[in-house]
Amino acid sequence: MWFKNLKIYRFTSDFKFDEAQLQNQLESMSFKTCSSQEIQSMGWVSPIPKSENLFHQGNNAFMFSLKREQKLLPASVINEELALKVSELEAESGSPIPKKAQKDLKEEITMRLLPRAFSKFSVVQGYVSIDQQIVVVDASSDTNAEVFLACLRKCIGSLPVVPLAKTPQQEVLTSWLMQDTPSDFEILDEAEFQSSADDGGIIRCKKQDLDAEEVLGHIQAGKLVHKLAVSFQERLSCIIAEDLSIKRLKFTDLVMEENQDIDKDNLAAKLDADFVLFTSEVKGLVNALKDAFALSEDD
């Protein structure tokens, strides 16, 4: 429920769900385990334990959980068997095995080994805020976020979104160090600097006073801030990247204690309250980012 990373996207046109159809739309791609001959499977599962609903609604936001199963079949195992088989066939025929025949053999070996492969399971969570007209995905990579968006788009037919910031914002992040930091944010002790040159280096600072001369010297030498650790309104801390994705999101005790009075045995009520609280906190952060980076519909 409490995301660690935020990939944030905004709608390019007004969006809302057809709530009457949403469950059926998601069920068309509900999660099913891999068959014996499948190397991967993905689909929607309930965000709430023991619930049949494939989405959770609260605070005018809709939460989804995309589950993926991947068969672990190391390439080294396949290649070892392939080499043995090719060696045997070449010994029998007395001539080299053509590349196309080797490719067919490799596919046959893969299909034979798949039923014996171990499975790795993962879940990517995200939510759509109707009020803010944004999609937020708990993913550290663009690839996982885009897979989530593509699957949701496939089910509901349309999902017209673009990243919150369509252009890199490293110059603004750099100005936070060199000039003024927005009042809602406080710079912490971690940053990553990168040269604007194609072959430029990267400097990472941790547990470092970012006002120190040796740190600011990297900027004077032509490097820009690509990642910056900040706190926001004493309610959360995170790393802001130049694409305005959020990493290592952590909420303070001030936030985490707000729902402590809810009976822990009432899991559904606790999860619902946490979702409302979480989305409210992210809403404040996103609004502050829009203001601080002066984002418009064209950015």
In the chain, what are the domain boundaries?
7-73+118-163, 75-115, 170-292
How many CB atoms are closer than 10 A to CB 48? 19
Element (H, E) at 175: helix 170-178
- CA dist., res. 232 & res. 287, Å (int): 12
- Distance in angstroms (rounded) separating the CA atoms of residues 7 and 245: 5
CA angle 111, 113, 116 (to 5 degrees): 125
CB 53 within 8 Å of CB 64 = no
| Number of residues assigned to the chain | 299
Average pLDDT per run of 10 along the chain, which is 299 residues long? 95 94 97 88 93 93 96 86 87 88 88 84 97 97 96 96 94 92 94 82 91 87 93 97 97 94 84 95 96 77
- Residue 252: exposed, middle, or buried by beta-carbon count in 10 A (0-12, 13-18, 19+)? middle
Residue type, 17: F
Q: Which residues of 189-220 are buried (b: 16+ CB within 10 A; e: fewer)?
A: ebbbbbbeeeeeeebebeeeebeeeebeebbe
* pLDDT for residue 297: 62
Phi, psi (deg, nearest 5) at residue 9: -130, 150
Reduce the DSSP state of residue 242 to 3 states and report it.
Answer: coil
Nearest-angstrom CA–CA distance, 293 and 299:
10
DSSP reduced 3-state for 216: helix
pLDDT of amino acid 164: 96
Can you tell me which residue has the tokens 């049949």? 52
pLDDT score for 295: 84
Q: Are the C-beta atoms of 165 and 212 separated by less than 8 Å?
A: no
Pairing label, strands 7-11, 161-163? antiparallel
What distance in Å separates the CA atoms of residue 194 and residue 227, rounded to the nearest whole number? 9
pLDDT at residue 111, as a whole number? 84
Helix H or strand E encompassing 229: strand 223-232
Residue 238 Cα distances to 190, 216, 274, 282, angstroms: 10, 21, 19, 12
**What's the confidence (pLDDT) of residue 130?**
97
